[in-house]
Amino acid sequence: MDPIRDPEEIEIEYLQRIGAIHDRKVVEIGCGNGRLTWRYADVAASAVGVDPDSTRLAEIVHTRPQTMGKSVTFTQAEAETLPFPGSFFECAIFAWSL
């Protein structure tokens, strides 16, 4: 059973308050099943979720909101070896992953 994350539901408020995600290209390290990703993806220019655990990434199929567009992608990788040569991101999120 997963622990309850963000019971006060303030993660997105704080991310928006610092201006880190609005209209930005975001990479989320340790995205797990996309729990946080789905909460900010609609305000980001694009979002890439990265997680080393294929089981957690497989859960994304079941948690993806029907209205979520193609601006969100996910990949299996370790944080130390991100598979994005030549790409850049304007924001990196490490929520619950360190």
DSSP character at residue 25: E
Q: Is residue 1 part of a domain?
A: no
Question: CATH no. for residue 27?
Answer: 3.40.50.150
Q: Is residue 3 part of a domain?
A: no
Residue 88 to residues 24, 26, 48, 50, 92, Cα–Cα distance (Å):
11, 9, 11, 14, 10
Return d(Cα 69, Cα 33) in angstroms, integer: 17
Number of domains in the chain: 1
- The pLDDT tens digits for 53-68 are 999 999 988 888 877 7
Q: Is residue 21 part of a domain?
A: yes
- Dihedral sign from CA coordinates of 7, 28, 47, 76: negative
Q: Is residue 4 part of a domain?
A: no
- The pLDDT tens digits for 31-87 are 999 988 988 888 899 999 999 999 999 998 888 887 776 679 999 999 999 999 888
Domain that holds residue 20: 11-79+88-93
Q: Is residue 5 part of a domain?
A: no
Q: Is residue 98 part of a domain?
A: no
